[in-house]
Chains A and B, each alone.
Chain A
Amino acid sequence: MAQRKGNATESQTIEQMDTPAWQHRHVLDVDCLSRDDIRLVFQTTDAMMEVLSREVRRVPTLRGKTIVTLFYEPSTRTRASFEMAAKNLSADVVSFAASGSSVEKGESFIDTLRTLQALGADAIIIRHKQSGAPYVAARHVSASILNAGDGWHAHPSQSLLDMYTLRRHFPDLQGLRIVMLGDVLHSRVARSNIWGMTTMGAQVVLCCPPTLLPDVFSRSDHGPVTSGYLPEVTIETDVEKALDGADVVMPLRLQTERQEAGLLPSVREYVERYQLTVARLRLLRKHSVVMHPGPMNEGVEISPEVAYGMQSVIEEQVSVGVGIRMALLYLVIGGGR
C-alpha cells in the first residue's frame, strides 16, 4: 500500500507498517512478547544504534516526558544504561534509590509509586528483590512500567540485548544451540532468555548442578523437558556434553552466598566442574560466542582468559544495552496511547 498523505493533516500520517504495531504499555517480561514484537524491538534498536554512533547522541523524541528509575537493589549497568537511554531521547530523568528515601521511614512500595505518579512520571523503571513487584506496580499506576529485574523472575531488557547481540553475530537465532551454564536457579536473566530465545526459535540448554536447577525442571536429568510454565529446554548436567556443538554459551554469575545456603559443596568444586575455561571453549562450534549478563565473578563461573578472549562479546552486550533501552522507552511512551 502506498503511503497516505491526506485526511485532515499530515500529522496523522503513519508510516506504513511493515511490522505489526506495538501493543504493550509495559515491559514486564519477554514471555508476553511475540516474535514480531521482538523483531520490532530489534528494528527500532537498529535506528537507535545509529543515533548512538553520532557525535551528538541525542534526539528530541521524548522531550517533555519524565522517566523515573526506582531501584530497590544495587545495579550499575542496568541503571546507568536506562538513564543514558532516557537522556539520549531528551526525557527528564529522576533517579530514585530506596536508601535515603522515605522507604526507610516505612513508606510502602505502592505509596512510593503513587507519589512518583503524582509527580508526573510517564514511565517507571523498577528493580526489586521481590519477584513480581513490577506486576503489582503496573496494576496500581497508569504510568508505563519497565521491569529492570525482579527477584529471580525476569530481566527483559537484558534478555533483549542478549538476543540483539547474537543477531549481530548470527544470521538468525532460529536453530542456534545456546547453553546457559551455572546458577540457573537464581538467574532472572536465564528465565527471561529461556522465553525470548525459544520464542525466536533457538534451542536452549541448561547446564548446572542439580541443586541449581529450578524445581520445575528437576523431574528429568537429561533431554528435552517441558515444565508446564517455562518453554521446552534441554537439561544437561555434564558440561562437556552440554557445550559440544554449541553456538553460544552464557555462564551465569555464581552468587557466593549460595554456597552458604548449602546448595554447593564448595566453590572450588564448582569451579572444577562448571567453570567456562579455554579448554571447554574448544568444544563449541567454530564461530561460537561467549556472553555474560554481568557482573562477572572472574575465576569462578568464567576464566579471565575466556572473559576477555576473542569469542567474548561481553563488552558488546553492555554497549548495545543503551540502544535496546532507548528502543523500549520509545515503544512504550514514544507514541500515542
Chain B
Amino acid sequence: MPEKIIATSDDIRRALVRVAHEIVERNRGAEKLILVGMHTRGVPLAKRLAEIIQSFENVSVPVGELDIGLYRDDLSTLPLKPVIHRTKIPIDVTDRRIILVDDVLYTGRSMRAAMDAVFDLGRPEKIQLAVLVDRGHRELPIRADYVGKNVPTSRLEEIRVYMKELDGRDEVSLIGVSSPGDVSLKGV
C-alpha cells in the first residue's frame, strides 16, 4: 500500500499555531480554558497548543490527559482490549471551557465517548473540539470547532499521524488506494 505524506513537520507547526490563535480568539482569552488531550496522540498535541498559547498570550493553560477506553461503545466487538491509561486532569472541569484535542476526527464515536468521560468529571461550561486532521465519514452529529487540515478520504484509506514525542518525527500520511486528486492539501 502506498504511503503518501500529506503534512510535513512545518505544515503541522503552522496548523497548530493557527489553531492556537483561533482557540484564544473564539474564547476571548485563555483564562477559563483546559486543553484535554485524548490518548495517545492528542496528548502531545494538547501540550504543544498550550506552549504556543503561552508564547503569544502569556497565559499558562492547564493540560489534561483523557483515556476514553472505559467509555467506548464497541468494547465487546473489539478483537483486542485497548490498554487503559490513567486520566489526568489537573483541575476541576466544572465551569471551565474544555478543549478536547485529538489527532484525527473520523466517525465521531471517540468524541462521543470523550464527552461522556468529561461529564463524569464535572459540569464544564463548554466543550470544544480541536483536531489536527478531519477526514470525514461522521457517524454521529459531531463536528470539530478547530481543524488543522481537512483531508477528504475514502473509508478504505488510513490516516497515520506521527508525533515527535512518540514516534521520533512529525508527519501525517495517507495510506491506501487513492488517486492524487482525492486529497486536498489545502489547510482550512
Binds A, one of B9-17, B27-35, B160-168: B160-168
Q: Does A330 contact B (CB under 8 A)?
A: yes
Q: Does A233 contact B (CB under 8 A)?
A: no
Which residues of chain A come closer than 8 Å to B161, judged between CB atoms?
2-3
Q: Is the CB of B159 within 8 A of A22?
A: no
- Of the residues B76, B77, B84, contact of A44 by C-beta under 8 Å: B84
Interface size on A, residues (CB 8 A): 41
- Say how far A91's CB is from chain B's closest CB, in angstroms: 12
- Of the residues A9, A16, A18, A331, contact of B81 by C-beta under 8 Å: A331
Q: Is the CB of A3 within 8 A of B41?
A: yes
A48-96 CB contacts (< 8 Å) to partner B: 48-51, 54, 56, 58-61, 89
Q: Which residue of B lies closest to A331 (CB)?
A: B81
B75-119 CB contacts (< 8 Å) to partner A: 75-88, 103-104, 106-107, 109-110, 116
Interface size on B, residues (CB 8 A): 48
Which residues of chain B come closer than 8 Å to A46, judged between CB atoms?
85-86
A2 in contact with B162 given A334-B81, A335-B80 (CB within 8 Å): yes
- Identify the interface centre among B39, B67, B69, B139: most chain A CB within 10 Å of its CB: B69
Q: Does A4 contact B (CB under 8 A)?
A: yes
A4 in contact with B158 given A46-B86, A54-B120, A59-B120 (CB within 8 Å): yes
Q: Does B157 contact A (CB under 8 A)?
A: yes
- Of the residues A9, A14, A334, contact of B107 by C-beta under 8 Å: A9
A16 in contact with B40 given A5-B159, A47-B67, A60-B116 (CB within 8 Å): yes
Which residues of chain B come closer than 8 Å to A61, judged between CB atoms?
69-71, 75
Q: Does B74 contact A (CB under 8 A)?
A: yes
Q: Is the CB of A6 within 8 A of B77?
A: no
B160-188 CB contacts (< 8 Å) to partner A: 160-163, 167, 175-176
CA distance A7 to B159 in the complex (A): 10
- Say how far B157's CB is from chain A's closest CB, in angstroms: 6
Which residues of chain A come closer than 8 Å to B76, judged between CB atoms?
335-336
Q: Is the CB of A47 within 8 A of B84?
A: yes
A330 in contact with B116 given A2-B167, A5-B135 (CB within 8 Å): no
Q: Which residue of A lies closest to B67 (CB)?
A: A47
- Say how far B174's CB is from chain A's closest CB, in angstroms: 9
- Say how far B122's CB is from chain A's closest CB, in angstroms: 8
CA distance A59 to B84 in the complex (A): 13
- Of the residues A6, A40, A48, A335, contact of B78 by C-beta under 8 Å: A335
Which residues of chain B come closer than 8 Å to A18, judged between CB atoms?
83
- Of the residues B39, B71, B139, B158, contact of A15 by C-beta under 8 Å: B39
Q: List 29 A-B contacts (CB under 8 A).
A: A1-B167, A2-B41, A2-B160, A2-B162, A3-B41, A4-B158, A5-B103, A5-B104, A6-B153, A8-B155, A11-B77, A14-B80, A15-B40, A15-B82, A17-B80, A18-B83, A43-B83, A44-B83, A47-B70, A49-B86, A50-B86, A54-B121, A56-B120, A61-B69, A61-B70, A61-B75, A330-B70, A336-B76, A336-B78
Give me the 4 closest cross-chain CB pairs, A-B, nearest first.
Answer: A6-B158, A335-B81, A11-B74, A2-B160
Q: Residues of A at under 8 Å CB distance from B?
A: 1-12, 14-19, 21-22, 40, 43-44, 46-51, 54, 56, 58-61, 89, 330-331, 334-336
8 further interface pairs, Cβ-Cβ under 8 Å (given A5-B159, A40-B83): A17-B80, A18-B83, A43-B84, A47-B69, A61-B69, A334-B75, A335-B78, A335-B81
